[in-house]
Amino acid sequence: MMKKISKLLLIIICCFTFLLIGCEAEPAIDDDYHNWDKVVVKEATCTENGLIRYTKGSDSREEVIDALGHDLIEEATGPTCTEYGKKVTKCSRCGKVISYQNVASPLGHNYIYKVVEESIDGSIGKKQKVCEVCGMVESEYKYVNNGYSRFGKLHVEGTDLVDKDNNPVQLIGLSTHGLHWYGEYVNEVSLAACKEAFNVNLFRFSLYTSENGYCECSEKKKEELYNRVLEGVRIATKLDMYAIVDWHMLGEENDNDKNPLYYKEQAKEFFDRITKDLADYDNVFYEIMNEPCGKTTWADCKTYAEEIIPIIRANKPDAIVLVGNPKWSSDLVSPKNNPLSFTNIMYTFHFYAADIKDTTKVTKAYAAGLPIFVTEHGGMDADGDGALDRDSTAKWYQVLDARNISYVAWNISHSKGSSAILKAKTANLDDFSNTNLKEWGIYYKAHIKARLGLNG
């Protein structure tokens, strides 16, 4: 019995010892081969096994190291000018992107217009349209500085608009459409882009009185429109330009509005307020009546002007005032025969070249000593639509340019009709390159460049 028990005990001890030996971790080859030469043939990577070779004399052994597997982390990248912002799942070790999700749209470029070669005293300079964030140069173009920093505060001398040194100066500009319809263009990005594309030195801000405009809308809307005019002038000033505040009476839908006297009280209030607000601005013209028409006489226009001009002058004694006249501001004969007695005023003339071809309307009045400012024109029909009459328009420019008469084209918008310079509303309202322009915009731009000697 005793024998049996000791045999069983022996078996148990043997099993236990065996188990102990079996359970003990196999010693790493490295330990076993610590005095062998070790060469890492291939490091294990995330996806591929590694290999280590041990050699001693002619003997050699290899050890396979298992692939490590990816170490996944999540990373967020912000959007750039051209790339989406992403949530990326990637391996921290090998950098492999396993998956990603677009979480924010590209920001788009942030253009500034950088002087590369300065335009001094009318010389031709060079600018670049460049992204201020990523430095991408979108285009390089010639320009002429024809802004306020060059000509300074203007005044009227005989028939001429003259600069701070009494030299005749010509302003060439663009008008907004009705600010209550296309106010979105009154922002610095759009107006800067427009200025740079056209090399204009003047913007006209058209505040419609009727058609749900300034005199026919809620108080809240009225305030908004007022502020939009101010904002426009401030932006034009920042852009080194001149500005026209245009009291855009027209009578298109409200017959009474054909006569400036109809909204005279509102005009008085408006011009009093705005000339106080803009008293420090020497680059602003006040156009007190866009287009008297219908049965309005020059006597009506005169009566109106004689009330409005003193209000403007009380706050801004040296402001240049632009005075309209009957027949949609195309009657220069009446003011020529019976002018206002104020100094520092100019009479406005509007033409749409496909309709009005008689340039003697201007040449005769000018020869008679009338100071003229074309605050609105187009190359098409007077309804702001239809084909451009290139010959007639070119003839008008010859007449105006020869006399340094300033002019402003209708209009900065994507409205219906051939007189809107833009085909459609562009993404950021900041691209006035030819692909986005209607024929009128392209034509006017080319004309200005030729006038300033920027072609070629």
| Tokens describing residue 42 | 């291939």
Instruction: Supply the minimum distance, in Å, between the C-beta of residue 230 and ligand IDC.
Output: 21
What is the Cα–Cα distance from 350 to 373, expressed in whole angstroms?
Answer: 9
What is the Cα–Cα distance from 161 to 151, expressed in whole angstroms?
Answer: 11
Instruction: Supply the minimum distance, in Å, between the C-beta of residue 232 and ligand IDC.
Output: 16
Q: Catalytic pick from 291, 306, 307, 439? A: 291
Q: Is 248 helix (H, G, I), strand (E, B) or coil?
A: strand
Give the CB-nearest residue to ligand IDC.
384
What is the Cα–Cα distance from 240 to 151, expressed in whole angstroms?
Answer: 10
Instruction: Supply the minimum distance, in Å, between the C-beta of residue 330 and ligand IDC.
Output: 9
* Angle 176-191-85 from CA coordinates, rounded to 5°: 130
Q: What are the strands, taking DSSP E only, across 160-269?
A: 160-162, 172-178, 202-208, 242-248
DSSP letters, 360-375, are: HHHHHHHHTT--EEEE
Of 216 and 376, the one with the shorter C-beta distance to ligand IDC is 376
Instruction: Supply the minimum distance, in Å, between the C-beta of residue 208 and ligand IDC.
Output: 7
DSSP letters, 156-174, are: EETTEEE-TTS-B---EEE
Of 211 and 389, the one with the shorter C-beta distance to ligand IDC is 211
Instruction: Supply the minimum distance, in Å, between the C-beta of residue 244 and ligand IDC.
Output: 13
Neighbours of 41 (CB within 10 A): 10
Instruction: Supply the minimum distance, in Å, between the C-beta of residue 220 and ligand IDC.
Output: 22
CA 288 to chain centre: 28
Residue from 375, 376, 152 nearest 283 by CA = 152
What is the Cα–Cα distance from 331 to 348, expressed in whole angstroms?
Answer: 9
Write phi, then psi, for 431 (nearest 5 degrees): -120, 105
Of 148 and 351, the one with the shorter C-beta distance to ligand IDC is 351
Of 211 and 430, the one with the shorter C-beta distance to ligand IDC is 211
Give the binding site for ligand IDC (CB under 6 A): 211, 250, 252, 290-291, 328, 350, 352, 376, 382-384, 410, 415, 417, 419
Look up 140 and say whether it is catalytic.
no
Instruction: Supply the minimum distance, in Å, between the C-beta of residue 398 and ligand IDC.
Output: 21
- Contact by Cβ (8 Å): 209, 266: yes
Q: Catalytic pick from 62, 117, 376, 439? A: 376
Of 196 and 291, the one with the shorter C-beta distance to ligand IDC is 291
Instruction: Supply the minimum distance, in Å, between the C-beta of residue 75 and ligand IDC.
Output: 51
DSSP letters, 397-447, are: HHHHHHTT--EEEEEES--SSTTSSBSS--TTS---SGGGB-HHHHHHHHH
Look up 48 and say whether it is catalytic.
no
Q: 402: phi > 0 → left, psi -120 to 50 → alpha, else beta; which?
A: alpha
Of 296 and 419, the one with the shorter C-beta distance to ligand IDC is 419
Write phi, then psi, for 390 (nearest 5 degrees): -65, -40
Residue from 104, 108, 111 nearest 78 by CA = 104
Of 274 and 293, the one with the shorter C-beta distance to ligand IDC is 293
Positions annotated as catalytic residues are 291, 376
